[in-house]
Structure 1
Amino acid sequence: MALQIGDKILNFKAKDSYGNDFDSHDVVGIKPLVIYFYPKDNTPGCTAQACSFRGQYEDFTDQGAEVIGISSDSVASHQKFSNQYKLPFILLSDFDKKIRTLFGVPPSYFGLIPGRVTYVVDKGGIIQMVFDSKKATKHIEAALEVVKNLKTNK
């Protein structure tokens, strides 16, 4: 079952693009999160999405939020992708698709391609937005609007 607005995210762990251990417990309770699931490194849509998040990363951090990108690509693939496009945010390797399954991210294109879904999670770990769209660059503006509202509603 897919996580929805109002649900609390469950703890998850993964390796980041540098092989470091990431545990969601280390950030939930500290800052809002923008967690975006994307199909694959170095594809046109995913590159556009990552570069759009990069371009507005400071807007997210100015609001106190952290951006986390997740796909099933390997740590090595993420490292190359992150370095090539100078991505300032966290990329996590979900090689076994456990995190994708935990969130209930649906596949797209008749189940052939992993889905593209963005979640905005407040400081307490409660989902405030679920944005499911194949239009990669639309995720950034939708997420930033919700993150700004989180700050003004506190």
Structure 2
Amino acid sequence: MNMNKGDKVPDLELKDQNGNAFRFSDLIGKKAFVVYFYPKDFTPGCTKEACSFRDSYEDFKELGAEVIGISGDSSESHSKFADKYKLPYIFLSDQNKKARDAFGVKSNLLGLIPGRETFIFNKEGKLLHRFNSMNAKRHMPEALYVLKKNQN
């Protein structure tokens, strides 16, 4: 599957960093949201990306948006990652690649590294923008820009 602008967020259920069930459909009608896929907890680029979202989390909240990070790591790994770097937003475990497949996130470097891709959804759960770059520093500013541009 490949997500395009205007598509609705896939209705998936994944476990968050606390082991609780999370559904994207629970956010629909309540708030806009940014979903960013990243390769792995505790790696330098991924930590930088996660911390940039943390450092601007208040800006996202002011825009009425939630931030969600997804990788193939376990809920336990996400919990340790969030605790160590004081990451205040939601992390989802995608160990069976269900979300990665539903969103159409491709691997990089000959399929060796899970892709780094960000999706920005409006309050109705429709895709506003999709951004793909292995450059971890570019995702947070891009997401913030798109949300500001699409404010009602």
TM-score, normalised with respect to structure 2: 0.98
Counterpart of 2:104 in structure 1 is 104
| Contact preservation (8 Å) 2:31, 2:64 | yes
Q: Gapped runs of 5+ residues in structure 1?
A: none
Give the ranges of 4+ consecutive aligned residues of structure 1 lying more than 4 Å apart after TM superposition: none
Distance in 1 of aligned mates of 2:145 and 2:136: 16
Q: What is the CA deviation profile of residues 19-59 of structure 1, one whole-angstrom value per residue up to 9, with x for unaligned ones? A: 11101111122110100000000000000000000000000
Q: What is the CA deviation profile of residues 44-90 of structure 1, one whole-angstrom value per residue up to 9, with x for unaligned ones? A: 00000000000000000000000000001001100000000000000
Pairing 1:117-132 to 2, within 5 Å after superposition: 117-132=117-132
The alignment of Structure 1 onto Structure 2 pairs a total of residues equal to 152
Distance in 2 of aligned mates of 1:101 and 1:19: 21
- Structure 2 residue 58 is the aligned partner of structure 1 residue 58: yes
**Sequence identity (%):** 51
- Structure 2 residue 20 is the aligned partner of structure 1 residue 20: yes
Counterpart of 1:41 in structure 2 is 41
**Letter matched to residue 150 of structure 1:** N
TM-superposed CA distance for 1:10, in Å, is 1.7
Distance in 1 of aligned mates of 2:116 and 2:2: 13
Counterpart of 1:2 in structure 2 is 2
TM-score, normalised with respect to structure 1: 0.97
Distance in 2 of aligned mates of 1:10 and 1:52: 26
Distance in 2 of aligned mates of 1:149 and 1:32: 13
Distance in 2 of aligned mates of 1:118 and 1:149: 16
| Contact preservation (8 Å) 2:9, 2:24 | no
- Aligned residues: CA RMSD: 0.7
**Letter matched to residue 66 of structure 2:** E
Counterpart of 1:68 in structure 2 is 68
